[in-house]
Amino acid sequence: MRRSVLSLLAATTALTLAFAAPTRAAEDAVVIPAPAMDAAPASGIQTAVIAGGCFWGVQGVFQHTAGVVNAVSGYAGGTKATADYQTVSSGRTGHAESVEIKFDPKKISYGKILQIYFSVAHDPTQLNRQGPDSGTQYRSAIFTTSDEQKKVAEAYIAQLDSAKVFSKPIVTKVGALEAFYPAEGYHQDYLTLHPNQPYIAYNDIPKVENLKKLFADNYIEKPTLVSASKATN
């Protein structure tokens, strides 16, 4: 569905200006407890890689999260040879649309990132789909970069399932990150650049609004953009 959204973007812009976009998200946010187990305090920038459906919205949420240095849309779970949007969209490459999050653990913990991920960034009970998008490339997955991240992620999923905070079991898979491949430039900062695009307005803007509402202490109004990061490097 999202591929047709991209191809019709120019045509829908005029309609967007003429009609107000829906205000409710395809997936509602869920209030959940913080993880009982979190990563130990550390120095230096760390990396988290998560997948939760279309990377536009997930990236947008974490670009508005304090302590995140950079959030890049891309592909994980497959090989470099097929890590391009058109091929990944076939659902046969093994990739998941993912977001690589560089964060300062002195300002936000890995556990807090997972809490935001499970609460407002996506619905972890949907198997191989998210909202209007279906296929294994839209699966819920956590790609860990250390044994500690693996333990924290698995413990948190068990904690949330035990507490039955969701109406259905969590289907999120946890596995070691083998590689992350940044997506094409036109996918980066997509939510910020196209806030009135119907797909974004309906599915993703409400996620950022829920971040502001449920995680006010972690929310920043000005997004940390990939384009800004490139300009300063």
Residues belonging to the active site:
54
Q: CA quadruple 173, 174, 179, 182: dihedral positive or negative?
A: positive
CA-atom Rg of the chain in angstroms:
17
- Name the CA dihedral angle for 204, 97, 73, 131, rounded to a multiple of 10 degrees: 0
Tell me which amino acid residue 220 is.
I
Residue the block writes with tokens 């990563």: 39
Q: CB burial class (10 A; 0-12, 13-18, 19+) of residue 65? A: buried
Q: Give per-residue burial for 30-57: e unless 16+ CB within 10 Å, then b.
A: bebeebeebbeeeeeebbbbbbbbbbbb
